[in-house]
Amino acid sequence: MGPIRVERAPVVGRVYSVICPVCSNNVTFDCLSRSVYGIQCHFCHTVIDLRNPSVPLPLNDTGVLAEDVNGDFFFSPEVEESGRGSATTQLSMVLADFAEQQLKEMPTTMGGEARQAFSARRIQALSERFSFLYPLVHVIEYIVFGTKPVARIGHVRIFRKRLLFFWPVNIPVTKTSVSYSAPLTVAILLYLMTTFYTKSLDDEWMWCMHRFVTFFLVLFMVLLVCCVYTDPGFVRPAYLETNGSHMGELTLKEIEAKQRESRWEMVNGQPEERKWCSTCEIYRPVRAAHCYLCGLCVHDHDHHCSVIGVCVGRRNVRVFLFFVITTALLALLPGLSLLVKLFLDANSLTARQLGIGLLLIAVLLGLGLVVGFLGLTMLYSLAVETTTRERLQNTYANKKNPFNRGLLRNIFWHMCHRSLPSLFDDDFVQLCATQV
C-alpha cells in the first residue's frame, strides 16, 4: 500500500507543481502568498484550482481569497512540492555554477595565446548563430564523405576517398567547414536572380554576358572546394608521439599554465621568434601560428577565413587568392552588365524592371567592390611577402622583413614555387586513427 498523500498548507517561498486538468501540462510555480489558490497554466491559460486540480476555476473566480475572508485553505494532495527550490535559489545556483566553472577555466591574467583562444571561441559561438544555413553543407558532406572519418586530429576530421580515376586520398574536413554555406547560398541566389532578370529582359547581349557569369560560378564552386577541403599547411603536433596525452581541447587556464619562453632563430641575419604552442606541444616554425578554430598550428599562417571556415596558410594561399578574385568577378561582371544595359535602354524598360535592376546592381557592385578590395590586400601581402597576421600586428614596423625577396620574386615564388607536402599522408592518418 502506497503512502497516503494529505492536504498541506501552502508555504511561501517554496516551489510547487501541478498537472493542468485541460492540457495535462506540468505547471511549476512559486508560492508567493497564502491567499492565492488559483494558478494559470502557461500553455493553455486555464486557471487551476489548487484546492481541487481536477477541475478548472470558473471564469469569474480570480483564485485569490478576499481580504474579508478569515481562515486558510490547503493545497490538494495533487499539488506536489518541487525539489528545485525557489526561483531565486535556482538563479543563485546557476550563477554559482557559472562562477565555479569560470574559475576552473579562466586564468587570472591572459597572455597572447590565451587571448587568441578566447577570441576564437567567441567567434565560433557567433558563427553557430547562423546554423540555420548549415544543413546545406551537412547534406553535401554526408553525400560525399559519409559520417565516419577514418581519423581525427584537433578539430579536423580526416576522410579517405577515391577521386574519379585517382588513387584514394586523405581529405581533411575542419569543424568550421560548414561556414561556407553562407557564401554558397548567396552566390546561388544571386545567380538565380540575375538569370530570371536576364530572361525578363530578353536581350541577346545580356545572355552572352550571362554565359561568362555561369563560367565564373562554376569556377567559384571548384575553387571553394579546393580551399575548404585541402590541407592549408598544418604542422605536425608533438603530443601524438606521447600517446596523445591531451587529444581534447585545453582550457584557457591550461593554455596559460603550459606556456614556455620562446626560442629564436636567425633568418637571413634577422632574429625571428619561435613561440611555444601549449596545445600542439611544439616550438612552432617561424611564421607559423596556432589556429584555435582548427585546433592545429599552420605554416605561414595568414588568417582563418570565417566566411568559408578554413585557415589560409602556406599550402592554400595561392588558391585562396584565385578564389577571392573569382568571387569579385562573379559579382562585378553581372553588376556592370546590368548597369550598361540600364544606362543604354532605360527608356524601354518598365518601372518594375528598372527598380529590380537598380537593386541588383547595388547589391552586386557593392559585394564585388568589397571582395575585390580584399583580393587587392591579399595580392599586396604576397607582393611584399607579409601575411595578414603580420600586417595587423605590425611585425615588421621597426625591423627589416627577412623573407622579402623583392616584388617580382615574391610573386613568382608564390605562384610557381612548390608548396609543402601535405601533413595527411597515410602514416600520419594511421597514427591519428590509433589515438581516437
Which of the residues are catalytic? 305
The partner residues of 49 in beta bridges, in order of sequence, read 38
- CA-nearest of 359, 411, 357 to 381 is 411
**Cα 54 from Cα 48, distance rounded (Å):** 8
357/365 Cα distance (integer angstroms): 12
Euclidean distance between CA atoms 86 and 32, whole angstroms: 10
Calculate helix-pair angle for 407-416, 351-383, nearest 10 degrees. 110
Residue with cell 598544418: 234
The closest alpha carbon to 277, from 168, 117, 163, belongs to 117
Residue for grid cell 547562423: 130
Q: Which three cell numbers stand for residue 24?
A: 495535462
Pairing of strands 282-283, 276-277: antiparallel
339 near 365, Cβ under 8 Å?
A: yes
389: which residues sit within 8 A by CB, 6+ positions away? 289, 301, 302, 303
- Closest C-alpha among 56, 40, 55, 49 to residue 79: 49
